[in-house]
Amino acid sequence: MTDHSSGLDKVPVIVLTFPLPDLVTQRLGTQYHVESLLTPAARQAYVTHSGDLVRAIVTNGSTRLDGAFMDTMPNLCIIHTFGVGYEGVDVDAARARGIEVAYSPGTNADSVADQAFALLLAVMRDIVPNDGLVRQGAWRPIRPVPPQLSGQKIGIVGMGHIGQRIAARAAGFSMPVFYYSRRPCDQAQWTYCPSVMDMAARVNILAVTLPGGPETCNVIDADVLRALGPQGYVVNVGRGSVISNTVLTEALEKGIIAGAGLDVVEREPNLPAALREQPNIVFSPHVGARSPQSLLTCLDQVMTNLHAALAGRPVHTPVP
């Protein structure tokens, strides 16, 4: 039996399953009691004794939340992913239990699109190795003539909020935009491709924005990278599971493609040494979605949905 003498039964308890910046947790804490339970063991230990206190979970897209775990929290009314991904949440199990599942589409699209272009410029223009050489006292480039980004043909895999922001930025670099998505967009200036393979053969750059999950696992396979070719670059700001580490490593080692920029990696944060040691790749630690603007915009959406669900009203952005 849970001891409610602390008064927590009068304050909705929010469980965080992954670390968020202080500006987010502090604002959540002004209205709710927040428990940061960042490991499966910590979550299980808490719900064993206090699961009936939990009214909401704020999670990321990849943390696994299944029906058995939901059953330990009989008063849980909403699971909200902080961002656009939700592949780790068993949505069907939640809905079967009357639990709302919400996400925050579009709230971080500008930040992620910025990151995609930062990675592209960094890998194509040798920003990281040239910086290292200059710091060591050299004044020579790692490559005499690196390619320019302007005018390159870009293929966007997934034309959702993020893909559309990438396309808008591509216009500023005079880049013809090709795209593959589940359905064509009503944008005459972009060229729709019927498959990823068809698109890869027509472009110099692949920008991947796909969410995770079984439907997108290893969509960018060895054949796609061969079609992209030895002058081609791939940047992934979607989910790491879309590109196999093994396939990508081989493509970089053998010169099947010219380079890659990754904000996400398969099975992150466990980065295999063979991939980590590739000189023609630039990494960032899954931070594309993070900027003060995107965090606060996402937080506004989360708070709006939490208020609605806890008051028994439909959320504004349920998962599809």
DSSP annotation of 35 reads E
User: Residues 6 or more apart from 3 whose CB is under 8 A from it?
Assistant: none
Q: Is residue 97 flagged as an active site residue?
A: no
Give the Cα separation of 7 and 260 in Å (integer).
52
DSSP E strands in the chain: the ranges are 13-16, 33-36, 54-59, 78-81, 100-102, 154-157, 177-180, 190-192, 205-208, 233-236, 259-262, 281-283
Which of 125, 268, 290, 307 is the catalytic position? 268
From the candidates 33, 43, 55, 286, which is the catalytic residue? Answer: 286
Q: Active-site residue 268, yes or no? A: yes
Tokens representing 249 are 């490593």
User: Are the CB atoms for 113 and 165 separated by under 8 Å?
Assistant: yes
Instruction: In whole angstroms, give the CA distance from residue 232 to residue 229.
Output: 5
Q: First and final CA of the chain: distance in angstroms?
A: 37
Which residue in the list 33, 43, 55, 239 is annotated as catalytic?
239
Our answer to whether residue 307 is catalytic in this structure is no
Whole-number Cα distances in Å, 237 to 64, 113, 140, 164, 232: 20, 8, 31, 13, 17
Residue recorded with tokens 């466990």:
270
Catalytic residue numbers? 239, 268, 286
